[in-house]
């Protein structure tokens, strides 16, 4: 069986490479993945795979129904891109201004389509069903999962376990990285709107300057992680935008500050947000301004099921070798709404290696120079397919 999986993965590689490059050239933002959806559906049609559109969304669900009844495994691929201007020199670089597959979702789609192709050749041996969920809007917090859930993608037949894949530039191509328990952090954010009193830049004493107050708030927020949070729970707070004013001689009425919060603990994200709110309101009030703070926990931590993860590692070892299945104690402070799938049923979220220094595949996700060794597509196809067959039939 495993030799056949490897053979089929190699056979479909040129096609999924073509799909990856087509999607990379034509990236689409969250909930706008219309062309991406058509590419996915065309592949499914060409391979006689049953599929349906997820309501009025851009999501697509495909299913391989086995000859006998049994469990149902779900396999998810996210499909949206990011608002980033690509800075690579790839011949298939993005043709869309300020939009790029800088997180690798084009690779995820192509890898899972590869698994579709492989697994359809084992239909007569499948006891149960395998669902493939191509999810929109992962980069939009819970939005993508809510769409999937709304249209009942986890039901009819009910999914018993899930697989999620994410490319990772810190793992070498040819390898995967896995971990029991938390593997990606909980995430939240905040928006602080500081209301002051505007006026002429030459008479600051007549104003309540929201820019100065905002600077004090930003500085104070830096001490929350170092002084107010348990250091044994890794956490990050980053201020990422600060907007105020339109002209150099006008002190504005308001300043708007936004940022992100990450932690291994979902509860810790809420705790940090409450401290952000208290800090901003306190500093603003001390200067006779007002601060309005919104935000909180957005996405739970992704937590792998121990039994499913160990089964995944065993299956992966059979097709890529145990030396290429890397167990790690580290998790990422990046987040993923795959967390909600993992809250519904036992799940495995694994990191697919794409690092190759010789071709410049060294930049992190969300970087404008992000690149990947595309041989990873075959590796991902192999391990997902092997686990799917092991899980369904054992």
So which residues are the catalytic ones? Answer: 300, 374
Parallel, antiparallel or unpaired: strands 325-327 and 199-200: unpaired
Tell me, letter by letter, the H, E, C secondary structure of 321-386.
CHHHEEECCCCECCCCCHHHHHHHCCEEEEEEEEEEHHHCECCCCCCCCCCCCCCHHHHHHHHHHH
Q: What is the sign of the dihedral through the CA atoms of 286, 290, 295 and 296?
A: positive
First to last CA, the chain: 14
87 DSSP assignment = -
Among 177, 50, 185, 26, which Cα is nearest to 109's? 26
CA distance 101 to 371: 9
Provide the token pair at 228: 């107010």
Structural Rg of the chain based on CA atoms = 23
Cβ atoms of 142 and 299 within 8 Å: the answer is yes
């Amino acid at each position: 069986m495993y030799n056949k999986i490897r053979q089929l993965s190699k056979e479909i590689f040129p096609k999924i490479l073509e799909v990856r490059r087509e999607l990379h050239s034509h990236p689409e933002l969250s909930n706008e993945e219309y062309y991406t959806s058509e590419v996915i559906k065309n592949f499914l049609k060409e391979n006689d795979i049953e599929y349906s559109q997820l309501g009025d969304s851009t999501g697509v669900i495909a299913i391989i129904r086995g000859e006998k009844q049994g469990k149902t495994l779900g396999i998810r691929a996210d499909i949206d891109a990011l608002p980033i201007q690509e800075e690579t020199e790839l011949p298939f670089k993005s043709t869309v201004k300020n939009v790029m597959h800088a997180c690798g979702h084009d690779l995820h789609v192509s890898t899972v389509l590869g698994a579709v192709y492989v697994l359809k050749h084992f239909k007569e041996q499948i006891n149960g069903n395998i669902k493939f969920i191509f999810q929109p809007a992962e980069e939009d917090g819970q939005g993508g999962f809510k769409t999937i859930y709304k249209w009942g993608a986890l039901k009819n037949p009910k999914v018993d376990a899930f697989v999620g894949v994410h490319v990772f530039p810190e793992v070498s191509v040819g390898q995967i990285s896995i971990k029991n328990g938390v593997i990606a952090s909980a995430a939240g954010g905040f928006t602080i709107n500081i209301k002051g009193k505007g006026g002429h830049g030459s008479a600051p004493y007549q104003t309540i300057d929201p820019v100065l107050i905002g600077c004090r708030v930003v500085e104070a927020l830096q001490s929350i992680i170092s002084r107010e949070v348990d250091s044994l729970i890794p956490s990050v707070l980053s201020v990422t935008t600060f907007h105020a004013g339109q002209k150099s001689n006008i002190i504005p009425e308001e300043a708007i500050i936004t940022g992100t919060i990450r932690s291994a603990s979902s509860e810790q994200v809420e705790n940090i947000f409450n401290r952000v709110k208290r800090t901003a309101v306190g500093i603003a009030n001390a200067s006779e301004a007002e601060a309005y703070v919104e935000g909180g926990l957005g996405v739970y931590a992704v937590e792998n099921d121990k039994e499913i993860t160990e089964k995944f590692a065993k299956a992966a070892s059979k097709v890529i070798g145990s030396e290429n299945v890397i167990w790690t104690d580290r998790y990422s402070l990046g987040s993923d709404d795959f967390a909600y799938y993992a809250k519904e049923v036992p799940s495995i979220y694994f990191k697919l290696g794409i690092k190759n220094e010789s071709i410049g595949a060294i930049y992190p996700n969300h970087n404008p120079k992000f690149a990947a060794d595309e041989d990873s597509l075959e590796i991902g196809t192999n391990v997902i397919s092997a686990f799917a067959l092991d899980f369904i039939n054992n």
